[in-house]
Amino acid sequence: MNELDPILWIFLGALLIAQATWIFRDARLRREDYAWLWGLFGLINIPSSIIVYILVTRRNNVRCAGCSKPIPRELEICPYCGSIKAEK
Ligand SMILES: [Zn+2]
């Protein structure tokens, strides 16, 4: 096996940290119960962690009436614009 360039490892590490940070912040914004666990999960690999995260958290969404972003069905208030959901 060839030795990988250390620069490449640093680049991969930075990508993993960026992915984990994005997942953690998104999970916290969406009031996921285990935001920190999702963040750790984001450190495991690229890009399957983020694909799994998006598939799991986006499947149960409705569109916000105020800003039309996808929000979890169980939320009463949109985390993006703060408008209150009209229907349940
Ligand atoms: Zn909204």
**pLDDT 10s digits, 25-75:** 999 988 788 899 999 999 998 899 999 999 888 887 888 888 988 888 888
Ligand 1 center from residue 77 Cα (angstroms): 8
Instruction: Report helix, strand or coil for 70.
Output: strand
Look up the pTM and report it. Answer: 0.69
Distance CA 78, CA 63 (A): 9
Q: Is residue 27 part of a domain?
A: yes
Q: Looking at the 3D structure of the chain, how many domains does it have?
A: 1
Residue 2: pLDDT band (50, 70, 90) is low
Residue 86: pLDDT band (50, 70, 90) is low
Instruction: Report helix, strand or coil for 84.
Output: strand
Q: Is the pLDDT of residue 80 over 70?
A: yes
Q: Is the pLDDT of residue 21 over 70?
A: yes
Q: Is residue 10 part of a domain?
A: yes
Ligand 1 center from residue 79 Cα (angstroms): 7
Q: Is residue 64 part of a domain?
A: yes
Q: Is residue 82 part of a domain?
A: no
Ligand 1 center from residue 1 Cα (angstroms): 50
Ligand 1 center from residue 55 Cα (angstroms): 20
Q: Is residue 85 part of a domain?
A: no
Give me the domain span that covers residue 26: 6-72
* DSSP 3-state percent helix, strand, coil across the chain (nearest 5): 50, 10, 40
**Tokens standing for residue 66:** 């105020």
Kindly list the protein residues that place their beta carbon closer than 5 angstroms to ligand 1, a single-atom ion. 64, 66-67, 78, 80-81
Q: Is residue 11 part of a domain?
A: yes
Q: Is residue 50 part of a domain?
A: yes
Instruction: Provide the pLDDT for residue 88.
Output: 47
Q: Is residue 77 part of a domain?
A: no
Instruction: List phi, psi (to 5°) of 45.
Output: -160, 170
